[in-house]
Amino acid sequence: MNAHEFNFDGLVGPTHGYAGLSYGNVASMTHGKSVSNPRQAALEGLEKMRFIASLGVRQAVLPPHERPHLPTLRRLGYRGSDSQILEKLAKEDPVLLAAVCSASSMWTANAACVSPSADTHDARVHFTPANLITQFHRSIETELTTRILRKLFLDQNHFAVHDPLASALQFADEGAANHTRLCGSQGSRGIELFCWGRRGFDATSTSLKYPARQTLEACQAVARRHGLDPVATIFMQQNPDAIDAGAFHNDVVSVGHRNVFLMHEKALVDPAQFIADVTRRFEGNCHQPLHVIEVCERDVPLQDAIATYLFNSQLLTTSDQRMVLVAPIECQENPKTRAVCDSMVAGDNPITQTLFVDVRQSMHNGGGPACLRLRVTLASDEAAAMHQGVIFTTGLHGQLKSWISRRFRERLELNDLSDPNLLQESRDALDELTRILNLGNIYEFQAPAPSSFGRGLG
């Protein structure tokens, strides 16, 4: 089957800021209360998309969420006009105000878990939106994410967009940030890897400092929903040491693409057993060698790996069939990670080049290049059946660049979040964006939008 991997990048929203909301995310906590530049952040993300598309990789966009999210505050009992609610919240609960203003939907690796039709029981592309319940500011993304995915992937002959898993800590799900697919070619059957940090029904936690977010039960539920073959599905446990070092998601310490899996030696519990298991299953199902590249602690300590987000790079196949690693510019500036990048390119594996991108505004909040994208593998007929308005083109790039330059502030402090002008600016920006992307009404401040749920997919 002729298929390609699309990278759906999240557009950065107008309220991009640094509130330090994500406990266990070292970069987020370190840069809490810093001044942000929403315009620069959005332009950095857009430039990364343009660069990825220039390599011949399929690229698409996902819209940001409405922020500040007044519907959440009203559900929590706040009354009055929008400006009155914001003013009251700024005085009484500035942390909650920051949470409902967070632009965290930009990290679409957490939006959902996706299985391509080559792997699923009914030969459809399956999506399970993440419930993200371990972080309040992220949990409020779930409803709109589901609505957007159902808007983009409407044809139920090709796509199945499930409801999120139950909103219970036992089924805490952080999406594709803990999911990797390996395959011989994008259109052929692959091996799907799910990484978990704790057992949902076990009261004890393996990590000592920071919470393990993804549960084994959530991983298993997603695999069952998507109808994956157990022989081609692996559940692997994240190393508690990695979590406590700041690897809140497994994509901070590993990344995979086609027949390459790049990992830190402390990414997983019992890495030797995992490597033996994934190699056996991959070669048995995909009928070609698997290249597992394990980076040693002595070469790149976990602290450096997390500071530079080496493993939150994107592994991609270009239009001329070369495999490249697109890494944060911080990896180029750190001697240890730069040496490892050079060594990989010189080594006996398919990676031919390392390319560096500047996404510092995202990095300061703990999101590298891979955090900003959701991978969706689509066959040709599936790609034709999806909503076409979000596919990245030269024309769309120009429209989005103009939109960002006109609509986004260059400076945002936490004190600005209660400004009713910011709320109106954000709504005006998103209203224009839905017209650019031909999405219709998807936000609650617009005319009534359809419910996210109720399509009968559990």
* Residues that are catalytic: 174, 249, 371
Helices assigned H by DSSP within 235-301: 240-245, 271-286
Q: Cβ atoms within 10 A of the Cβ of 91, count?
A: 9
Give the Cα separation of 282 and 20 in Å (integer): 40
80: left (phi over 0), alpha (psi -120 to 50) or beta: left
The CA distances from residue 284 to 83, 193, 223, 332, in Å, are 60, 15, 20, 37
Give Dmax over CA atoms of the chain in angstroms. Answer: 64
191: left (phi over 0), alpha (psi -120 to 50) or beta: beta
Is the bond leading into 350 cis (omega within 30 degrees of zero)? Answer: no
CA triple 341-40-387, angle to 5 deg: 85
Give the Cα separation of 48 and 356 in Å (integer): 10
Give the Cα separation of 295 and 22 in Å (integer): 27
Using DSSP bridges, classify how beta strands 3-10 and 373-379 pair: parallel, antiparallel or unpaired. antiparallel
- Give yes or no for a contact between 216 and 199, defined as CB atoms under 8 angstroms apart: yes
Q: How many helices (H) and strands (E) does the chain have?
A: 17, 15
Q: Cβ atoms within 10 A of the Cβ of 87, count?
A: 15
Q: At what angle do helices 394-407 and 38-54 cross, to 10 degrees?
A: 170
- Give the DSSP H/E element, type plus range, for residue 351: strand 351-357
DSSP string, 149-182: HHHHT--TTTEEEPPPPPSSGGG---GGGGEEEE
What phi and psi values does residue 378 have, to the nearest 5 degrees?
A: -130, 135
Within 8 A by CB and 6+ apart from 140, the residues are 69, 72, 99, 100
> Which pair of structure tokens corresponds to residue 143?
């409803």
Tokens 């999506």 belong to which residue? 127
